[in-house]
Chains A and B, each alone.
Chain A
Amino acid sequence: MNYLKEVFASRELLGNLVSREVKGKYSRTIFGQLWSLVNPLALMLIYTFVFGLIFRSKPEPGDPSGLDVFALWLLCGLLPWIFFSTVVTVGAGSLVANAGLIQKVYFTRIVLPLSVVGSTAYNWLFEMFVLVVALSIAGAFVLPWIPLLLVVMILLAVFSAGVALMLAVANVYFRDTQWFLSIGLQIGMYLTPIIYPASLVEQASRDVGGLAGTSFTLIDVYRLNPMDHFVTVFRQVLYDNRWPDGIEMLVCLAWAVGTAALGVIVFRRNEKNLAEAL
């Protein structure tokens, strides 16, 4: 409790660090904030070309929205994933990158990884705004779902923050972490139904049957990935325009709260040794 109070007292510092990141990131570029859209758009073009046109991946049309555009369906999963992977990657390096500051000034260290969450969320909001506009133009009725969308976005941000806190500490002790992480995130992206619908995995799971003679199936293992649940909920809200399954929401909530709590505990336990370990 005292710790939370201390973190809360540093909110101005957090705000300033976030604006430092935001202002510094695209300074001296001609396109400025627009660069934030370029990466997702490039990925969208590549994946739409490869998986939409060549492999003919056919996700079901949005129900009840009636949308049937692969590129938009893709972005509903891709933008949350890019947010998660950016927070985790940059957040994991945030303590090492600010080693000079940590060794010279006392402040609540947790603001460093949290400021990464804030500045990445700023870009993400911008991207999601553009996506909502695009969805509306395509005929989806997204506007009434925006409050719920914000709730899910906050849940994902909390979950990502928890992961980033743990990895940031791990990276101080083992610099291998960041290299493992980039591989892990690549694998994670293909283990999450972003560029293909989860129904294909269900299909494959039925074909394979129980794994190694047990009643566990492929899909049960697949569902252990928390990002699978987040992407599902984002699609239900944004692409289908309907209430997400209650159970999926609960799973997301549990992952967010559990990971964040663990992240704060791990961070707190190691906070005092950071200056020496760096």
Chain B
Amino acid sequence: MSETAVRVDDVSKSFRLYHERNQTIKSAVMRGRRSVHEDFWALKDVSFDVPQGSTFGLIGSNGSGKSTLLKCLANIYYPTTGSITHFGRLAAMLEVGSGFHSELSGRENIFLNGSILGMSKKEVTRKYDDIVAFSGVEQFIDQPVKNYSSGMYVRLGFAIAINVDPDILVVDEVLAVGDAEFQERCFQKFAEFKRAGKTVILVSHSMDTVKAMCDQAAWLSHGSLMAAGDAQPTIQAYLDSVGHDEA
């Protein structure tokens, strides 16, 4: 395998579960500085490398820590211990259309959202036509986005995010948007990414998606890494364990 795109090194992440939280000044004063909590380890000593140019799937049941790991990758959470290093520009698509202003038009939102995702105005202007074409909302681009259907809304958000053109793309379960035609276009875009030697890290519950798209995978269970490596055996191991649990 070639070079590493993302190195996840011994990452642990704990959250505080508050039984009684000092979120008002009254409770802080009444109880002194103590607030009662216990630590919950959402991730425990997870280490793996994501090779450059691979499409990497994170799989696991609900609550296994996939989303926490993804947020750590996206710089939204910071690991309690351990470190995550990435080589190249990273963009995260955890939710599409976040930051849209409902009163502004699609066009204005493209520029606003583009800059939230870290694109310069010049970049957005250059990619503007691509974004609009990809989203398929040309006809309504000057309408306020509050009048968009939910499908149009999500497609526009997705079109902006995918045009950030990062070296590493982190995607949460956002592929389940749009109609069949739009999904097909998304898959093509991911294939294009792959051909260009870019890395994609994605979370999905649909094993078919993961099987179809990923060549590498990591399986998380209750915050611990169970297996990482080639997609086929990892997915198989996960499916087997699910079968055992439920049968």
- What 0/1 readout, one digit per residue, does chain B (57-78) give for beta carbons within 8 Å of chain A? 0000000000000010011111
Which residues of the other chain, A, contact B75 by a CB distance below 8 angstroms? 106
- What 0/1 readout, one digit per residue, does chain A (253-278) give for beta carbons within 8 Å of chain B? 00000000000000000001001100
* Known contacts A173-B23, A275-B77; is-contact A107 B118 (Cβ 8 Å): yes
Within A1-15, the residues touching B (CB, 8 Å) are 12-13
Contact A174 B24 (CB under 8 A): yes
| B99 interface contact, C-beta 8 A | yes
Smallest CB-CB separation from B78: which chain A residue? A272
B235 shortest CB reach to chain A, Å: 27
* Known contacts A12-B121, A23-B108, A276-B15; is-contact A105 B99 (Cβ 8 Å): yes
| B28 interface contact, C-beta 8 A | yes
Name which of A65-73, A96-104, A187-195, A199-207 contacts chain B.
A96-104
Smallest CB-CB separation from A107: which chain B residue? B116
The B interface, classified by DSSP as helix, strand, loop or mixed, is loop
Contact B101 A174 (CB under 8 A): no
Contact B98 A175 (CB under 8 A): no
| B152 interface contact, C-beta 8 A | no
| A17 interface contact, C-beta 8 A | yes
A102 and B112 CA atoms in complex are apart in Å by 15
Size bracket, chain B contacts: 20 to 34
Most B Cβ at <10 Å: residue of A16, A23, A24, A275: A16
Most B Cβ at <10 Å: residue of A13, A24, A275: A13
A272 and B77 CA atoms in complex are apart in Å by 7
Smallest CB-CB separation from B16: which chain A residue? A276
* Known contacts A13-B115, A28-B103, A275-B71; is-contact A176 B98 (Cβ 8 Å): no
| B117 interface contact, C-beta 8 A | yes
| A58 interface contact, C-beta 8 A | no
| B46 interface contact, C-beta 8 A | no
Contact A174 B103 (CB under 8 A): no
| B219 interface contact, C-beta 8 A | no
| A27 interface contact, C-beta 8 A | yes
**Which residue from A104, A174, A180 sits with its C-beta under 8 Å from B76?**
A104
Which residues of the other chain, B, contact A275 by a CB distance below 8 angstroms? 71, 76-77
Which residues of the other chain, A, contact B220 by a CB distance below 8 angstroms? none
A202 and B76 CA atoms in complex are apart in Å by 53
A103 shortest CB reach to chain B, Å: 6
A126 shortest CB reach to chain B, Å: 20
Contact B92 A176 (CB under 8 A): no
A105 and B99 CA atoms in complex are apart in Å by 9
- What 0/1 readout, one digit per residue, does chain B (112-126) give for beta carbons within 8 Å of chain A? 100111101100000
| A20 interface contact, C-beta 8 A | yes
* Known contacts A104-B95, A105-B92; is-contact A24 B103 (Cβ 8 Å): yes
A169 and B77 CA atoms in complex are apart in Å by 17
Which residues of the other chain, B, contact A27 by a CB distance below 8 angstroms? 103
B134 shortest CB reach to chain A, Å: 20
Smallest CB-CB separation from A108: which chain B residue? B118
Which residues of the other chain, A, contact B193 by a CB distance below 8 angstroms? none
A90 shortest CB reach to chain B, Å: 16
Contact A105 B94 (CB under 8 A): yes
Which residues of the other chain, B, contact A12 by a CB distance below 8 angstroms? 115, 120-121
A105 and B157 CA atoms in complex are apart in Å by 13
Q: A16-B116, A176-B24 are in contact. List 16 more A-B contacts (CB 8 A).
A: A16-B111, A20-B101, A20-B104, A24-B101, A24-B104, A100-B95, A101-B98, A102-B76, A103-B76, A105-B98, A105-B117, A106-B75, A174-B25, A174-B28, A276-B15, A276-B77
